Amino acid sequence: MAFRIATFFLLLSAGGVAGFQAWGHVGADIGVALAAGAWFLFDLLRGLRVTRWLRRGDAVEPPRMGGLWGEVGDRARRALRKRDQERLQAEDRLQAFLAAIQASPNGVVLLDAAGHIEWCNQTAAEHLGFDVARDHMQLVGNLVRDPGFTAYYAGNDYSGDVVVPGRGSTASRSRRISIQLHPYGEGRRLLLSRDVTALEQAETMRRDFVANVSHEIRTPLTVLSGFVETLQTLPLDEAERLRYLGMMSQQAHRMQSLVNDLLTLSRLEGSPAPGMTEWVALEQIMAQCESEARGLTETLGKHQELLFGPVPAVSVAVSQTELVSAMSNLVSNAIRYTPARKAIDIGWHLLPDGGVQFRVHDAGLGIAPEHIPRLTERFYRVDRSRSRETGGTGLGLAIVKHVAQRHGGELRIVSTVGDGSTFALLLPAARVHQAS
């Protein structure tokens, strides 16, 4: 600043001296005025250069000059560079924030005050059937046409959520999406969506399980109570009394079987998977299963032909108790649902990949295709009245599935109506050891 003032007065002095020498006192005044005008014009030109540079917003190439305008340009350049750096950092943070929202398992939609979609992540688009590019600034009410959502959106009470059918939801394969709105800003709304299909299915299964257990236990208890009351109030001869006691014993056994199967399922779900230290020969396991199967056919008096095939000379790393339980459940189902004097094929087979398969093929009525995916659900029955007659608990195949999964295997079911069913329990090669 001192240099600027000094040059100004120096220029005025030089102009005054030159004018005085040329024209005297009047010339001195003219020289000072001309010197002041020249200085201001030069300074104005320098200021215009800085102004044009500031208008361009170019922080890289400021005008090269000294003095006050040079300092102004340098300070402005540093301010512009700092602004650009802060803008880039803000954009990076915004992109990181948007990437985090994109990775969220929940859907996120930003709505303006009128309900237009300003932004949504891919999860929300997949949940609700949006197209991220096409549906930008579209009204959300035009895209989500469920009456429940329409009433929820218009009600302005967003303390809870609303559940609507999801994208691709059908009657046979329902998909449920929970939507909740959160007001923010000046009339804007944040829409959050999440897939609650599994939660609703789990809740349905829980309710069905409680209802089924209650029903399965209530029926034999009702029968037992009736027989006890009959024995207490009516004079019965020995034959009638023995017949009633036999029926009571049958119902008590049914409840005991149900409780045992429930305990087995609970133990399977709550214990660690079997290790690879206990190796058992398949012949030993098959012998135990065959003994139980032949005893069951004699008890039921169905005179079926049980065809047990040869057993491969291998050992398996399994929990013998669990595997025998699974095998017995498969054979028991085949015996119960196969008509009398029909044949049932039972056997172990080596697989090309080194694993083994326990296969049970019956000559029963067969199972319709729509029932097969649900057979391993607890208490699921294709024909409830027929299942009551066979005496099953409805938990056998659920136990088999859990045993297979705990051993790294799987349960496969193939059935044709009128042509019987085949149930196969597969164990992986890692749990099979060839005998020497």
pLDDT tens, position by position, 336-366: 888 888 899 999 999 999 999 999 999 888 8
State the average pLDDT over residues 136-144.
91
Confidence of residue 270 (pLDDT cuts 50, 70, 90): confident
Confidence of residue 287 (pLDDT cuts 50, 70, 90): very high
Are 306 and 215 contained in the same domain? Answer: no
Mark which of 225, 254, 271 sits at the end of a domain.
271
Q: Return mean pLDDT, the chain.
A: 83
Are 240 and 218 contained in the same domain? Answer: yes
Are 181 and 299 contained in the same domain? Answer: no
pLDDT computed for residue 387 by the predictor: 47
Residue 239 has pLDDT above 80, yes or no: yes
Are 23 and 91 contained in the same domain? Answer: yes
Contact at 8 Å (CB) between 349 and 400? no
3-state secondary structure of 357: strand
The percent of the chain in helix, strand and coil, each rounded to the nearest 5, is 55, 15, 25
Counting the structural domains of the chain, the total is: 4
Q: Is beta strand 356-361 parallel, antiparallel or unpaired with respect to 410-415? A: unpaired
CA neighbours closer than 13 Å in the CB half-sphere of residue 212: 18
| Between 374 and 63, the higher pLDDT residue | 374
Contact at 8 Å (CB) between 264 and 325? yes
pLDDT computed for residue 64 by the predictor: 67
pLDDT computed for residue 209 by the predictor: 72
Are 290 and 427 contained in the same domain? Answer: yes
pLDDT computed for residue 1 by the predictor: 56
| Between 385 and 316, the higher pLDDT residue | 316
pTM (whole model) above 0.85: no
State the average pLDDT over residues 394-410.
90
pLDDT computed for residue 269 by the predictor: 78
Max avg pLDDT among 10-14, 254-258, 341-345, 391-395: 341-345
Residue 7 has pLDDT above 80, yes or no: no
pLDDT computed for residue 392 by the predictor: 61
State the average pLDDT over residues 226-250.
85
Pick from 199, 201, 162: which is nearest to 179 by CA? Answer: 162
Residue 25 has pLDDT above 70, yes or no: no
Confidence of residue 11 (pLDDT cuts 50, 70, 90): low
Are 280 and 261 contained in the same domain? Answer: no
Contact at 8 Å (CB) between 413 and 421? yes
| Between 391 and 303, the higher pLDDT residue | 303
Range of the domain at 166: 104-195
We report the CATH number of the domain holding residue 147 as 3.30.450.20
- Alpha-carbon gap, residue 108 to 398, rounded angstroms: 38
Residue 17 has pLDDT above 50, yes or no: yes
Mark which of 46, 78, 98 sits at the end of a domain.
98
pLDDT computed for residue 169 by the predictor: 77
pLDDT computed for residue 181 by the predictor: 94
Are 226 and 327 contained in the same domain? Answer: no
Dihedral sign for Cα atoms in the order 243, 246, 250, 252: positive
Are 188 and 116 contained in the same domain? Answer: yes
Mark which of 62, 80, 98 sits at the end of a domain.
98
State the average pLDDT over residues 265-293.
87
Confidence of residue 211 (pLDDT cuts 50, 70, 90): confident
Are 411 and 331 contained in the same domain? Answer: yes
State the average pLDDT over residues 57-74.
64
